[in-house]
Structure 1
Amino acid sequence: MPASRTSRLSVRASPDELVRWNHIARSHGHVTTSDWIRSLLTSAELSGDDGSPISDELRRLRTQLSRVGNNLNQLAHSANCGDAVHCGSVLDEIETLIHRLDRILSRSRKNPSSRTAYRTCDTTVTLH
């Protein structure tokens, strides 16, 4: 039986936020929004989440994805010119970024993504 709840924690919300939070709580199987928030706080405490903003992580990922996109454009240009293209390291970097993004997303929702990364080319591709 849980300890008696005699203390109160209050959070101010706009009417739109409250509606959205109620909807999210119910969609995750919680009877009340306070039950959902309690579970979020408990899971953050148990996981040792330091509360670093997800937006900072997403900005870093976006920068890395931009670099990967630039590398892919260079590989495509080389392939169109008939050069041998070595894309293994770029695909490895893409796969790493996908896994990082999945970890971030799994922290922000109850059911983590079941996405699987697929390789679509060999390490060396020669186009003529």
Structure 2
Amino acid sequence: MDRIFTVEEARSLMPQVCGLVAELVAIRADLAELGHDLREGVRSPLGGLPEAKAMEARIGEILGWFDERQIEIKGIAPVLVDFPAVLDGVSVRLCWIEGEAELGWYHRSELGFPGRRRLP
């Protein structure tokens, strides 16, 4: 069964979402830097292949947390999070993007990000 969130339920999860996204953003940057250094054959202060694999594994764990709760991750650069919901009988996604202070947007499910509107 697909989970449907209320606005209140989604907002109650935002402290955890923001914490995990902050960790994901830091790992994303480290992995980009380490990957570049590995491809260039340059010694990196971030480590080597084992550290890169550990970072990839942690990203997988973080994404798994969202998947277990049926919260949709639509992108990781920037991180874009959607909570399936229903507003006024219409299927929507409560939408949050990395850097926003709060969950304050939605879009109809079939429209995606270009259809974003402020929550009433």
- Please identify which structure carries the higher strand content: 2
Whether the TM-score (by the shorter chain) exceeds 0.5 is no
TM-score scaled by length of structure 1:
0.37
- Please identify which structure carries the higher helix content: 1
Larger Rg: 1
TM-score scaled by length of structure 2:
0.39
